Amino acid sequence: MEKNPKKQVRQRILVIQVLLLGCICLLGARAFDVQIFDARDLIRKAEQSHSKYLTIKGERGQILDRHLNKLGTSIDAPTITANPSQILDPAKAAAGLSRILNIKQNTLKEKLSRTRRYVMVARKVSPAQAKQIRALGIQGIYLEKDSKRFYPNRSLAAQVIGFTGKDDIGLEGLEFKYNKVLEGEVARIKVKRDGAGRVLDTHKNRRAKLKGNSLVLTIDKKIQFLSERTLEQTVKASQAKSGMALVMKPGTGELLAIANYPGFNPNNFSTSKRDTFRNRALTDAFEPGSVIKLFTVAAALEKGFTPKSIFFCENGKYRIGKFTIHDTHPRGWLTLNQIVKFSSNIGTAKISETIGNKVLHDYLTNFGFGLKTGLGSPGETNGSLMPYGRWSKIDAGAISFGQGISVSAIQLISGISAIANNGMLMKPMLIKKIISNNGNELQVFQPTQLRQVISPKTARQVKVMMNMVVQEKGTGTKAAMEGYAVCGKTSTAQKASKNKNGYEKNKYIAAFAGFAPLKHPELAILVVIDEPMKKHYGGEVAAPAFKTIMAKSFNYLNIAPEKTKSMIAAVIKGEAN
């Protein structure tokens, strides 16, 4: 018996309906499972596919001079990455990148041939390299935002500023000392990616907020430059080993220049000798020689002597125990004024014997010798000043004219500035203020008075003596400037032997320290030349450099000449009495 066709159709439809309903139920159950039970896991996987977490670090803060000129800053230096799965011809891409990045072609080809979606090609490339790589237009090569440290003035103040390493961590100088102030903050953020894995959002605004704080220095870029240039010319002309030049404002202790030669380029520090990295003005101690006579004479004046007090200088030879002290030119009776003017070792030793060891030691200590200045730069030396109880007779005599004592250049310029500043010793300043990434002042440093070392009267008397040094028959005539009363002191110190007792033959440190103008000193300058070969006297080698730096600085700062020579002479005559 045949089946009813209509009934068969209905049965088939029913089966199909049951099957469809079953499918719908299964899909519904699966959808319920996906949306309810697996939702979190699937959302996480989707986010991982289209987003990623990055740890970003804010740009390093800047180092600026007193007029906000950039001395150390950060520039764009993209990091080059690749998605090998998108690179059609790894060999060709490697060849193009190799020429620009100076990386072996085989090394790049191996990286670009990997079965990964992300490889690091090169970190922190220069803007010029980045431009060339973009021009290649290689599919699968990407440039991610990054930065690196840059010093726009190259070697200018390099020993003061220092430099950073690969990860922008300070390694030398202020970059090292103030690393925590300068370095940017770190944050972990989520960014979106496209199907190729490229980052779509670099959070530029967030990066800007993470930028580190900046240092504003007391250094004046212009005065630093002319100090370095003059120092380099002097060292080369005298065939010397090295040199230092410092410029300070006596009334505030602010350092306008700290110059060292030889120098180095912090943008490419790995090509320089490590010995050139240190800031010798703070780290190196040396015997100062005759500049110390100023402080010995100041102590005598404080103890009741006058500029016209006389001492017999033994016609050029004076024996202390088994040692004999010599003067360059034999002289008999000299006043304190003349002892400074002619730079008499014997006269200064006689002063020391008269005032006693304790008095001399106390005044040298009060001027800051044997003590760190607390400038805020790494590696500062104390120098060396023995306790007076351990001084022998020859020690006292030698220390009085600058042997048997070692100082740093920063101590010496600070002491000279105290005389210029009417006897008030100021704490030397290198950092003017710290500012935030949006320009707000976080910390402002003010000039700090440490102590009144000598009276204003004594300071005025020493100033007049220093002015006599640059006048006719003085040892520092080459430091004299037309229109200004210059105060200074020469020094020619034999270098102490490193490997044995005594001093090196034909090895000297030539120096000149001083300030101007006499009545209201604007700048104090110290020039130190290590081992000059052609001439070795401070008045011949260092004094002309002092004059050049002072004259050009006065011109730049618009410091007008004093009124007339006759008025200057009248002031000097009055103070000399």
Q: Give yes or no for a contact between 216 and 85, defined as CB atoms under 8 angstroms apart.
A: no
Give the span between the Cα atoms of 547 and 555, in whole angstroms. Answer: 12
Q: Give yes or no for a contact between 264 and 163, defined as CB atoms under 8 angstroms apart.
A: no
Q: Is 494 helix (H, G, I), strand (E, B) or coil?
A: strand
Please pick, among 147, 290, 352, 400, the residue that the annotation labels catalytic: 290
**Which tokens go with 185?**
């903050």
Query: Rounded to the nearest 5°, which phi and psi values hold at 69?
Result: -75, 140
290 as an active site residue: the answer is: yes
Give the span between the Cα atoms of 361 and 405, in whole angstroms. Answer: 11
CB atoms inside a 10 Å sphere around CB 432: 19
Sheet strands side by side (includes 70-76): 147-150, 70-76, 63-64, 214-217, 431-435, 441-444
Which parts of 28-118 are beta strand (E)?
51-57, 63-64, 70-76, 79-82
Query: Among residues 259, 264, 257, 269, which one has the least CA distance to residue 232?
Result: 259
Q: Give yes or no for a contact between 81 and 120, defined as CB atoms under 8 angstroms apart.
A: yes
Compute CA distances 213 → 69, 160, 446, whole Å.
Answer: 16, 18, 19
Q: Could you tell me which residues are beta bridge partners of residue 311?
A: 334
Give the span between the Cα atoms of 361 and 414, in whole angstroms. Answer: 17
What DSSP line would sit under 197-216, residue for residue? --BS---HHHHHHTPPPEEE
Q: Give yes or no for a contact between 287 and 565, defined as CB atoms under 8 angstroms apart.
A: no
Query: Among residues 529, 527, 534, 526, which one has the least CA distance to residue 495?
Result: 529
Sign of CA dihedral 559, 564, 565, 568: negative
In the block, tokens 């439809």 appear at 13
**Which tokens go with 512?**
């000149």
* ∠ Cα 556 559 565 (to 5°): 130
**Helices 345-355 + 357-366 axis angle, to 10:** 100
Q: Give yes or no for a contact between 306 and 300, defined as CB atoms under 8 angstroms apart.
A: no
Q: Which pairing describes strands 79-82 and 70-76: parallel, antiparallel, or unpaired?
A: unpaired
Q: Is 493 helix (H, G, I), strand (E, B) or coil?
A: strand
**Which tokens go with 403?**
């042997």
Q: Is 374 helix (H, G, I), strand (E, B) or coil?
A: coil
**Which tokens go with 169?**
């961590």
**Helices 409-420 + 456-469 axis angle, to 10:** 110
Alpha helix segments (H runs only) across 183-292? 204-209, 221-237, 280-283
**What is the CB-side half-sphere exposure of residue 453 using CA atoms within 13 A?**
33
Which residues does the annotation mark as catalytic?
290
